[in-house]
Amino acid sequence: MDQTVRTVTTGVRRGARPVILLLATLLLAGLCVASLAIGSKTIPFGEVFSVLIDPHGGETEAIVRGLRLPRTLLGLFAGAALGLSGALIQGLTRNPLADPGILGVSAGAGFAVAVAVAALGLSSFYSYVWFAFAGAAIASVVVYVLGSYGRGGATPVKLALAGVAMLALLTSLTSGVLLLDPDALYVYRSWAVGSLTGQDTAVVAQMVPFLLVGTALAVSVAPALNSLALGDDVASALGRRLGLIRLGGVVAVTLLAGTVSAVVGPIVFIGLVIPHVARAITGPDYRWILPYTMVLAPCLVLAADILGRVVARPGEIGVGVITAFLGAPFFIALIRRRRLAEL
């Protein structure tokens, strides 16, 4: 297995990987503190630590512990899950343009949630999260099948185009479903932009079991992704069970992206951008790419959330809008680079 990893030596020196990961973790910790302190009302860092360590009531505690702490935890878990699922999809499909949003996974989960809320009247997380899982899984399978038609099989560009088409279709269907139910539409408006607001620590705690199972599956297939990067024939020759690996990866992506989409809505481009940043640092070894994405992705989510609070103060801009604004140019540049390489 190590032989397959040594075939390509891009990224930083091996000895620097743990150091950079530690620095990224410290940056993430700083962003968590900033997320607790910065908002429509800026709270000094000393007061933030005070109400976290020794709750004593009052407005500051209500803001920090009641509003910003669940929001920060949600951004932390959602970012890690989206980054991890994006890295998995890119590794499983050998498609650098893949992420849960581009391939329609998030849109599938969103459509299923809209149906569950509008048609069945479901409202609690544990009632509609199963619909999110089913919608995410069905959408990913349909996109892969559509992208596999024609000469050359499932090429990156065809998968991206199939994903965009599926995203447009599911978005239209979701809008049609919600227009029939004004109450569901009211709930969906804040969900659709991708936002970390409006949830409490109980919902965050309900997410954790699903995310832990998805993360465990993702970590278990990480060594096999290095073999898959060399092609199916080579991976089979190295003793990898491709069907089992892909099944585990798809289940992991469904758990990670489906859970996050059910709670915070479609936050796009996180799973596309961050794996490329991690790969530029670590090289092609997925045993390092996955931990890096789990740290760097929540950094981007929290930074985007803080930026959304600052630029529109005293209001705010949803984190999904900020990440789309930052990620769209990256996606365009990536497509142009691949098209030039194919000429």
Residue 88 and residue 252: Cα distance in Å, rounded? Answer: 8
Q: Please write the tens of the pLDDT for every residue from 287-326.
A: 899 999 999 999 999 999 999 888 877 778 888 888 888 8
Share of the chain above pLDDT 90, in %: 22
pLDDT band at 8 (very low <50, low <70, confident <90, very high): very low
CB of 305 closer than 8 Å to CB of 248: no
Q: Please write the tens of the pLDDT for every residue from 98-133.
A: 788 777 788 888 888 888 888 887 777 677 778 888
Determine the average pLDDT of the residues in 85-90: 91
Determine the average pLDDT of the residues in 221-235: 81
Question: CB within 8 A of 116, min separation 6: which ones?
Answer: 122, 127, 128, 131
Q: Please write the tens of the pLDDT for every residue from 125-149.
A: 677 778 888 888 888 888 878 877 7
Provide the phi-psi class of 13: left if phi over 0, else alpha when psi is between -120 and 50, else beta.
beta
Angle at 30 between CA 27 and CA 32, to 5 degrees: 110
Full set of structural domains in the chain with CATH:
77-342 (1.10.3470.10)
Of 137, 128, 102, 148, nearest to 267 by C-alpha is: 102
Kindly report the number of other CB atoms within 10 A of residue 5's CB atom. 18
Stated as kind and residue range, the H or E segment containing 311 is helix 286-311
Residue 183 and residue 284: Cα distance in Å, rounded? Answer: 47
Residue with tokens 């995410």: 136
Amino acid at site 271: G
Question: CB within 8 A of 337, min separation 6: which ones?
Answer: none
Letter string b/e over residues 134-145, b meaning 16 or more CB atoms within 10 A of that residue's CB: bbbbbbbebbbe
Determine the average pLDDT of the residues in 259-267: 83
pLDDT band at 41 (very low <50, low <70, confident <90, very high): confident
